């Protein structure tokens, strides 16, 4: 019984597509070869799936609106806040040297908390523990700016993330979430970003859902968007109740999705539509 | 599987199919016969013109998000997740199309196509959609009527 349907479906697939857009005619998108055991043969940045105009905007340091955030945070880096009378710079000196590579390797294991922490959490740990300052709220301009600033110090460096040792159960948890269908539309991350990347979903052109550009300047929102907000958006769109930003679930997912993009150059602040 | 229409669907019949989007506590049971749904979900045939609208509307079927249809080429964006639906009326009977739209995973295992007439067995559904199917019985019938024009 099933056989018949499958055969017919194949016949349907063979018929020509009406949706021929600029992207469909574009030749191979550039990527990097994936390590053995990876789900993709080629790992491709979201950059390659965007229009020429969007890419040009990202590439131009003077025009890229994400750099305004980086510049704002460069000032905050030096600003004393909290009851300890310290700034980020008091402990870390020049970000250009001390923060180089840090943002490329997040999330990282925290021995004290016994869990992985991402860049936003690390920044807030510094604020509360070392500066005795208030933590910044997730999605606040301050936190997203600083996250972009620190990550920018790894610009062009390959994403590297540890997925073994104590990270291994977190990696597995993230992987399980990635392949779980959620919401009334019953779709998983895999449904869109693994199976259907390089295809249109109506006007949306699907990428591999890589994280190397975050926080990312979204033209639609006219501001930098942190990664967990993007995760929330994707879950919301399938009519699912998203996990909370900075929850264990999204931390695990961040770790796993970072691994899927291992070796991609950090593009923060990337520009996306 | 040969079960009769369950309470939820029966209720929908009396309410002219508008109740699927009400908080339906009762799971929808489909009256599947030979991998198809021979009976209309409303007891009456759908309307092709209304079905075309359901097919296109982003908050309803949004079928065009994944499928291409030549007769809808005046619409700007046709998705590529699924096959072209040109000639689909010739490939399937009406009863088969009804099951494909209502619950495609019964036919295409592991498909990304959502079940449009199912209201349970889903994970982390946003509160405003809990217990509701994406489309009402009447909307499914309208979509079926539209698909029958694709021959």
- The SS3 of residue A75 is helix
More confident: A152 or A7? A152
pLDDT-based confidence at residue B24 (cuts at 50, 70, 90):
low
- pLDDT value at position A28? 75
Residue A130 neighbours by CB distance under 10 Å? 15
Q: Compute the C-alpha angle A151/A152/A155, nearest 5°.
A: 105
- pLDDT value at position B50? 98
Record the pTM.
0.90
pLDDT tens digits for A70-92? 999 999 999 999 999 999 999 99
CB A237 within 8 A of CB A182: no
ipTM: 0.90
pLDDT tens digits for A195-247? 999 999 999 999 999 999 999 999 999 999 999 999 999 999 999 999 999 99
User: How many contacts does A have with B, using Cβ atoms within 8 A?
Assistant: 111
Contact B134 A184 (CB under 8 A): yes
Q: Kindly tell me if the per-residue pLDDT of B11 is higher than 70.
A: no
Gap from A137 CA to chain B (nearest CA, Å): 24
**Closest residue by Cα to residue A171 from A33, A37, A34:** A37
Pick the residue of B23, B62, B112, B127 with the most A CBs within 10 A to test the interface with A by mutation.
B112
Give residue for tokens 């695990």.
A252
CB B35 within 8 A of CB B43: no
The answer, yes or no, to whether the previous bond of A215 is cis (omega within 30 of 0) is yes
pLDDT-based confidence at residue A10 (cuts at 50, 70, 90):
very low
Contact A184 B125 (CB under 8 A): yes
Q: From B63, which residue of chain A is nearest by alpha-carbon distance?
A: A202
Cα separation, A103 vs A254, in Å, equals 13
Cα separation, A133 vs A89, in Å, equals 14
- Domains of chain A (ranges, CATH numbers): 33-272 (1.10.760.10)
Contact A183 B122 (CB under 8 A): yes
pLDDT tens digits for A12-65? 333 334 333 444 444 579 999 999 999 999 999 999 999 999 999 999 999 999
- By annotation, the residues of A acting in catalysis are 234
Residue B7 neighbours by CB distance under 10 Å? 13
Contact A12 B124 (CB under 8 A): no
Chain B environment of A15 (Cβ under 8 Å):
83-84, 86-87
More confident: A191 or A28? A191
Torsion from C-alpha of B85, A234, A238, A15, nearest 10 degrees:
10
Q: Which member of B66, B87, B124 has the closest CB to residue A241?
A: B124
Q: From A187, which residue of chain B is nearest by alpha-carbon distance?
A: B112
- pLDDT value at position A50? 97
**Diameter of chain A measured on Cα atoms:** 73
Q: Which member of A9, A13, A201 has the closest CB to residue B79?
A: A201
Contact A18 B84 (CB under 8 A): yes
pLDDT tens digits for A102-152? 999 999 999 999 999 999 999 999 999 999 999 999 999 999 999 999 999
């Amino acid at each position: 019984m099933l056989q018949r349907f499958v055969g017919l479906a194949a016949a349907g697939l063979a018929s020509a597509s009406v949706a021929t857009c600029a992207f469909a005619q574009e030749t191979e998108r550039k990527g990097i070869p994936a390590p053995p055991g990876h789900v993709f043969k080629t790992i491709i940045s979201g950059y390659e799936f965007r229009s020429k105009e969007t890419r040009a905007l990202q590439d131009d340091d003077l025009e890229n609106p994400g750099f305004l955030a980086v510049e704002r945070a460069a000032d905050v880096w030096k600003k004393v806040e909290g009851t300890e009378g310290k700034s980020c710079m008091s402990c870390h000196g020049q970000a250009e040297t001390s923060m180089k590579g840090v943002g490329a390797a997040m999330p990282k294991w925290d021995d004290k908390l016994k869990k992985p922490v991402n860049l936003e959490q690390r920044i807030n740990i510094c604020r509360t523990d070392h500066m005795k300052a208030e933590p910044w709220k997730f999605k606040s301009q301050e936190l997203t700016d600083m996250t972009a600033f620190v990550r920018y110090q790894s610009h062009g460096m390959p994403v590297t993330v540890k997925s073994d040792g104590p990270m291994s159960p977190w990696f597995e948890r993230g992987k399980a979430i990635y392949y779980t269908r959620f919401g009334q539309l019953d779709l998983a991350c895999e449904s869109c970003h693994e199976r259907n990347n390089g295809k249109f979903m109506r006007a949306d052109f699907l990428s591999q859902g890589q994280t190397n550009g975050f926080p990312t300047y979204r033209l639609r929102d006219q501001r930098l968007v942190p990664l967990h907000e993007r995760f929330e958006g994707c879950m919301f769109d399938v009519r699912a109740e998203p996990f909370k930003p900075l929850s264990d679930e999204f931390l695990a997912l961040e770790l796993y999705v970072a691994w899927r993009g291992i070796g991609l150059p950090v593009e923060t602040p990337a520009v996306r539509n | 599987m040969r079960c009769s229409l369950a309470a939820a669907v029966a209720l929908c019949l009396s309410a002219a199919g508008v109740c699927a989007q009400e908080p339906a506590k009762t799971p929808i049971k489909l009256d599947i016969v030979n991998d198809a749904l021979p009976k209309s979900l409303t007891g009456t045939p759908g309307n092709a013109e209304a079905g075309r609208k359901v097919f296109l509307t982003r908050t309803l079927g949004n079928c065009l998000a994944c499928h291409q249809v030549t007769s809808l080429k005046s619409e700007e964006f046709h998705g590529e997740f699924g096959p072209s639906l040109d000639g689909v009326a010739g490939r399937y009977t009406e009863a088969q199309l009804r099951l494909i739209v209502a619950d495609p995973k019964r036919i295409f295992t592991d498909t990304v196509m959502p079940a449009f007439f199912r209201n349970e067995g889903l994970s982390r559904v946003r509160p405003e959609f809990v217990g509701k199917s994406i489309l009402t019985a009447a909307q499914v019938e309208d979509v079926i009527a539209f698909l029958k024009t694709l021959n």
